[in-house]
Amino acid sequence: MKAVITIVGQDRVGIVAMVSEILAVNSVNILNINQNILDGFFNMVMIVDMKSSKVSLKDMQQTLKGKGDELGLDIKVQHEDIFQIMHRI
């Protein structure tokens, strides 16, 4: 199963590293990263493969949300199908 991770918030050093580390520890493979800074705000969208993930989607959502709250970032993890069904026939 693929998931989409979106991260929005104040830019700072180490956001990509922090998220990547959590994903690596849980055997979640990054397929695509798209990141930019808009008006000083950090925007990142990742598509990840959770096929070999050690944790469920729900647990990953909680872990990243908790980490995001600590750092003042809004981090969402969503099942990829909601985007696929809306934008692909």
Partner 1 sequence: MLTIQEILETNRMIEQNNFDVRTITLGISLRDCCHSDIKIFCQNIYEKITRAGEHLVRTGEDIEAEYGIPIINKRISVTPIAIVAESCHTDSYVPVAQALDAAAKTVGVNFIGGFSALVEKGYTKGDRILIQSIPEALAQTERVCSSINLASTKAGINMDCVREMGQIIKRTAELTSDRDALGCAKLVVFANVPEDNPFMAGAFHGVGEAEKVISVGVSGPGVVKRALEEVRGQDFSAVAETIKKTAFKITRVGQLVALEASKRMGVPFGIIDLSLAPTPAVGDSVAHILEEMGLESCGAPGTTAALAILNDAVKKGGLMASSHVGGLSGAFIPVSEDAGMIAAVERGSLTLEKLEAMTCVCSVGLDMIAVAGDTSASTISGIIADEAAIGMINNKTTAVRIIPVPGKKVGDSVEFGGLLGYSPIIPVNTFKSDTFIARGGRIPAPIRSLTN
Among 47, 55, 67, 71, binds partner 1 (CB under 8 A): 47
- 55 vs 46, 71, 73, 79, CA distance in Å? 18, 22, 22, 14
Residues that contact partner 1, how many (by CB under 8 A): 24
Interface with partner 1 includes 80 (CB under 8 A)? yes
Among 57, 63, 67, 71, binds partner 1 (CB under 8 A): 57
Contact, 11 vs 54, CB < 8 A? no
Contact, 45 vs 5, CB < 8 A? yes
Contact positions vs partner 1 (CB under 8 A): 4, 6, 31-32, 34, 43, 45, 47, 57-58, 61, 76-88
